[in-house]
Amino acid sequence: MPTAHLGRGGGCGGERKALLLPVTRWRHCAQQEAAARHNAIKHLARDVHPPTQVLTYVANAIETKVHDQKCCEAVQRLGSVLSKYLALYNSSVDCLQQSLQVQKTEYMQDVVNAITARILELKHQLRKLEGYYYQYFGSGLIQHGLTFDDADPIDVPCKMTRSERVQTVIDEVLLKAKEEKKVCLEEAAEEDKMSPETNSFLRFWESDNESEEIEKEISEIIPQLSEESLKRMEMIKLIQAHELQVIRWNTRRKFKREKWEKELNETAKPQARLEVKERAAALIKKVLRINFEIKRHRARQRKLDEMIGISLCIKPNYEETLKYSMVTDQRINKQKQYKEERLSKIEAMEKIYLKQTEHNTADEYKDFIREWFKKWYAEVKFFYDIPKQELGGSSLIFKEMVPTRSEWQKEYEAYLQEKKSNKNKTNAQKKFERQEAKKEEMKLKKEQQRKLKMEQELIKKIMKNPKQHPGFHYPMSKKTENILQTINNYRNDWNDFDTRETEGYKEGYVREIDHNNACMNTKLKILKAVDEDMRQELQVLKCALQSEYKRNNEKMPENMKVKQKKAKKQKVDSTISESVQEKMQELASSGYLKENTNMKFQDFVGDFNFVGDKLRCLLQRAAPLCGETRFLWWEKCGDVVLGARRFLLVGPRGSGKTTLVNILSSVNNAVLFELDPANVSPDLISPAHLRQLVSSTVTCARATQPAVIHLKSLNLLYCKKVPPEQNKQNLNMFAQFFVRMLLKKIHKNDMITVIGSCSDPWSTKTNKLLKKFPDVIMMPRTTYTTVSFILRKWMTDNRVVPRDLNTQSIAQLLQDYSFGHIRDALNSFLTPDNIIKIPVYGLSPQEVLDHVTKNEDDKVDYKKYQEWYDVNTTWGKREVNRLQSDREFLLLQQKFVEKMRKRGVLEKHQVPH
């Protein structure tokens, strides 16, 4: 296989054959990875293949069952494998999205699905081994010479494609709602212009007596600083700046004149000797050389840090990212163009081939099936039924997927014996036997479960005993065979094509393959038409066979009921009825149907917890950050195509809950519905209106699935104490319809994801809330790096902010505030007055800090959220219990070691495993 040319994270990992690298090579490998990403645009011009060599090596490397003495060692081993698979997943997805050979996409999609299954299996094994909901794999990345950017998933593995008709209807509805909103805003603006108050301002010169009142009203409405005063202040500041510059120039001129006068009057100090000057010059040169050498070393180190992605004080390079994304979009559009061209050409080939070979092919198929009838009659004097069309039809005969004559005879003899044994039994007896068989089966299952439970309890007891601790291990993988099989399929079908340089093998599509597929599809269509004729002939043959058995006074064999697996039904393009379109239009006009925001996982900004796995090894609590939340959210986004799901996002206002919902709807191309009690007009709050609203939402979501329904302000619907401004009856009504009725109307097979958001969970009836939303995801706390990124982006977006602003100190003191509050406060800081003052007087960090922290109520107590999560949620309880049990075992182990040392069994330097 040729070397993979990857757009992200594939250059270094695709060329190495070993999984484990020493830590000293981390920077070197990261430099290669960053260089590969930097030159991604050049690589995209070449062909893109899946990284099959590395995949095969990884799949084979983990076939060895490993036994670790410590849980930390087993977790790090699994984490290292998981990190490598995540890097390979990103490389494979990048290949899938950017490959211009459209016929390879099916093989690449199989590889991506196989890697995804293995990643989910590793996550499940880690959760079972550790007892924690989040995974940390910093040590594993170091082992493989990777960075956290390589392990950050870039997209979901598979998406459900909506039909073009439905997508067109959705676009039209959203566009119409946008135009209606624009018209309403224009009408409101015109009404404001033509209001009587405004007209009185426009005609203030017509009344002399009311001039004072009008001036008072104008002073109340118009800001205190008019345009003239603002212009005057600007000119004053400019004059002051010019005066300061002139004063500095005059002072410099005065000192220079005094120096000249001293030199002319020979009162200045005498110059140094030539030898002293030379020595001083040599010293200055030495210092400058050392200084520039240090600068060059720092520049190289800064570039390495930038490549690795850990530099925090350099200006981000948005141009390269924008350029790379533009090239990626161009390749994706070109891939879609090739796919459309290929489909149109395949249709033309099928039509031509159907005209040329329709009659000859149909006759050949009929002759083959008739010959099959003759063989059955000659050997067993019976005709086997043609399989039903939904099970595969007569194509199963050509594929030899029906029983042979000898197999049918054996099955028929067993069928006759079973029928003979059940001949004298009544229906009640048969029913009793079936029930007894089920009971016996249930007994065996319960016995197996009881044995398994006893084994688990015994293992738990042994795990708490330092003398008999068995160590830790993880089961063998059940998904690696799928990875190896997909790789072999790719190699068998494309190894010959990859070595060629002709048109279509590297870009576009191979016409030879499409021609064969078109012939196959055409023959299947002809075979469906042949099916009907041959079934009629089969009925005639069966009638003749029955009459023959009658003449010979023999009994004709019976047809046995054979259970066959149903073939997968082909997806039919669905349409939206006019009534559903009207409901969608009403929801869009009312603001319940939202427009897609086209967000990605990278829009949820934040770093991974670099030392999370090490903290767990030290039996300390590790808090998940934005990186771990993104990884968990990637898993939830992949579950959208599996059926109905429900999640609960818990976190303060402005912590990114709405951002995660928009990411999930964007990456899955899902339609987003938003139900918020605050958006419902008080005049419309009634059972009839809410029932109709929920019914319309579910109907439209089912018609446009995949869909996402975002339920906001669940803390109000399940609050313990009703706020004074709220009505208890209305809140109960919202909870009844927005939650209970909504969840009942959604079936488990519907691809509708319901996401609830809650900001104050401790003030709610937790049991009722978690009964409806058992899967809880807590939003991460604000970190120093995230605030630094927000501040740097604020500086780059606004040129008036000085580049030497000390953002490090500001970021250190803003970690107790949410992301949204910091972003909104920074945007509101740039008022016209501050924009004028900053160029003249500068900007101090204290001014920005005072503006952001002026309200103490905006401060977030993240410990409160963590305590609620630990006490009430399933995973929170598990994590607390696991941490407590590990600490207790550590104390028992220390006591055991001390006891053994006192007996003299162990020496001071020896420690048992």
Beta-ladder partners of 671: 707
- So what's the pLDDT on residue 44? 32
Flag whether pLDDT at 483 surpasses 70.
yes
Which distant-in-sequence residues (6+ apart) come within 8 Å of 534 by Cβ?
A: 366, 369, 370, 386, 394
One-letter amino acid of 578: E
Tell me the Ramachandran region of residue 818: left when phi exceeds 0, alpha when psi lies from -120 to 50, beta otherwise. beta
For the stretch 7-37, what's the b/e string if a residue is b when 16 or more beta carbons lie within 10 angstroms of its beta carbon?
A: bbbbbbbbeeeebebeeeebeebbbbbbebb
Flag whether pLDDT at 568 surpasses 80.
no
Taking only the tens place, the pLDDT of each residue in 258-306 is 888 888 887 877 778 888 889 999 999 999 999 899 888 888 877 776 6
Please report which confidence band the pLDDT of residue 222 belongs to, taking 50, 70 and 90 as the band edges.
very low
Span 365-378, mean pLDDT? 85
Span 92-117, mean pLDDT? 85
Average pLDDT, the chain: 77
Which distant-in-sequence residues (6+ apart) come within 8 Å of 774 by Cβ?
A: 874
Angle in degrees, CA 192, 197, 199, rounded to 5: 85
Rounded Cα distance between 20 and 61, Å, is: 11
One-letter amino acid of 781: R
Flag whether pLDDT at 58 surpasses 70.
no
Q: Which position has the higher pLDDT, 493 or 215?
A: 493
Tell me the Ramachandran region of residue 392: left when phi exceeds 0, alpha when psi lies from -120 to 50, beta otherwise. left
Domain-by-domain residue ranges, the chain? 23-162+472-508, 233-266+283-308, 336-464+512-551, 578-778, 784-859, 879-913
Q: Which of 115-129, 345-359, 660-674 has the lowest mean pLDDT?
A: 345-359
- So what's the pLDDT on residue 46? 33
The closest alpha carbon to 873, from 771, 780, 781, belongs to 771
The closest alpha carbon to 777, from 876, 709, 881, belongs to 876
Flag whether pLDDT at 201 surpasses 70.
no
Taking only the tens place, the pLDDT of each residue in 585-638 is 888 888 888 888 888 888 888 888 888 888 888 888 888 888 889 999 999 988
Angle in degrees, CA 464, 468, 473, rounded to 5: 80
- So what's the pLDDT on residue 486? 86
Please report which confidence band the pLDDT of residue 55 belongs to, taking 50, 70 and 90 as the band edges.
low
| 154 CB neighbour count, 10 Å cutoff | 19
The DSSP secondary-structure symbol of 577 reads: -
Taking only the tens place, the pLDDT of each residue in 129-188 is 888 888 888 888 888 878 888 888 888 888 887 878 888 888 888 888 888 888 877 777
* CATH 3.40.50.11690, applies to 578-778: no
- So what's the pLDDT on residue 323? 53
Q: Which of 460-474, 487-501, 663-677, 678-692 has the lowest mean pLDDT?
A: 460-474
385 token code pair: 């039924």
pTM for the whole structure: 0.74
User: In percent, how much of the chain has pLDDT > 90?
Assistant: 4
Please report which confidence band the pLDDT of residue 225 belongs to, taking 50, 70 and 90 as the band edges.
low
Helix (H), strand (E) at residue 708: strand 707-711
Q: Which position has the higher pLDDT, 562 or 749?
A: 749
225 token code pair: 């600083």
Taking only the tens place, the pLDDT of each residue in 422-458 is 777 777 877 888 888 888 889 888 888 888 888 777 7
Flag whether pLDDT at 92 surpasses 50.
yes
| 866 CB neighbour count, 10 Å cutoff | 15
The DSSP secondary-structure symbol of 602 reads: G
Contact 624, 641 (CB under 8 A): no
DSSP-derived pairing of the beta strands 472-473 and 67-68: antiparallel
Q: Which position has the higher pLDDT, 772 or 329?
A: 772
Flag whether pLDDT at 864 surpasses 80.
yes
Taking only the tens place, the pLDDT of each residue in 708-731 is 999 988 888 888 888 777 777 778
687 token code pair: 């059972």
Task: List strand residue ranges (DSSP E) for 45-161, in order.
Answer: 67-68
- So what's the pLDDT on residue 470? 67
One-letter amino acid of 86: L
3-state secondary structure of 709: strand
Taking only the tens place, the pLDDT of each residue in 636-690 is 988 888 888 898 999 888 888 889 999 999 898 899 998 888 888 877 888 888 8
- So what's the pLDDT on residue 283? 92
The closest alpha carbon to 831, from 223, 189, 242, belongs to 223
Flag whether pLDDT at 67 surpasses 60.
no
Q: Which position has the higher pLDDT, 335 or 568?
A: 335
DSSP-derived pairing of the beta strands 593-594 and 707-711: unpaired
Rounded Cα distance between 41 and 324, Å, is: 6
Residues in the chain: 913
Rounded Cα distance between 545 and 384, Å, is: 12
Please report which confidence band the pLDDT of residue 320 belongs to, taking 50, 70 and 90 as the band edges.
low
- So what's the pLDDT on residue 216? 41
Contact 717, 756 (CB under 8 A): no
One-letter amino acid of 206: E
Angle in degrees, CA 881, 887, 890, rounded to 5: 140
Strand order in 671-675's β-sheet? Answer: 593-594, 671-675, 707-711, 752-758, 645-650, 776-778
3-state secondary structure of 777: strand
